[in-house]
């Protein structure tokens, strides 16, 4: 539920356009959460919340606290997805986006092959491996 109390608690500078807001948040995010947002933007399926923990564990990286960025995402029983395309545009424009996705893709492929729900595996594994 998005009520006035929750809106007042949002971090970031909301006095200007969306790009400025995202940039103000991005600066404060740890690498694990930047990678979480990169993955959600690069692979547009519904991500189970546990996926980010499983992928970071496989890489020996710090586990992301997904709750810190969940207000930017659409959350449903199916999983997490970009809420507004402006987030995807911003994340894709960050300086190291392409390099990080290239580095993360093998871990995503392994996750899809070994731990993802069957529906994701069937629909996305070959695309990610290509």
Distance of alpha carbon 64 from alpha carbon 108, whole angstroms: 15
Using pLDDT thresholds of 50, 70 and 90, give the confidence band for residue 103. very high
Distance CA(86)–CA(93), nearest Å, equals 11
pLDDT digits (tens, 9 = 90+) for 14-54: 555 778 889 989 999 999 999 999 999 999 999 999 999 99
pLDDT of residue 20: 84
Contacts of 42 (CB under 8 A, 6+ apart): 92, 101, 104
Q: Is the pLDDT at 130 greater than 80, yes or no?
A: yes
pLDDT at 16: 58
Dihedral angle over CA of 85, 88, 93, 98, nearest 10: -150
- Quote the domain boundaries for residue 98: 4-129
The structural domain count of the chain equals 1
**Please, are residues 85 and 33 in contact by the beta-carbon 8 Å criterion?**
no
Percent of the chain with pLDDT over 70: 88
């Amino acid at each position: 539920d998005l009520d006035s109390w929750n809106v007042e608690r949002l971090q970031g500078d909301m006095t200007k356009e969306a790009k400025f807001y995202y940039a103000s948040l991005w600066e404060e995010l740890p690498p694990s959460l930047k990678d979480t947002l990169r993955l959600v933007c690069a692979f547009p399926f519904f991500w189970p919340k546990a996926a980010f923990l499983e992928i970071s564990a496989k890489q020996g990286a710090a586990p992301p606290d997904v709750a810190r960025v969940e207000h930017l995402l659409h959350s449903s029983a199916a999983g997490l997805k970009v809420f507004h395309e402006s987030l995807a545009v911003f994340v894709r424009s960050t300086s190291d986006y392409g390099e990080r996705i290239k580095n993360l893709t093998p871990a995503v492929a392994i996750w899809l092959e070994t731990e993802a729900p069957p529906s994701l595996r069937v629909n996305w594994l070959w695309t990610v491996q290509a």
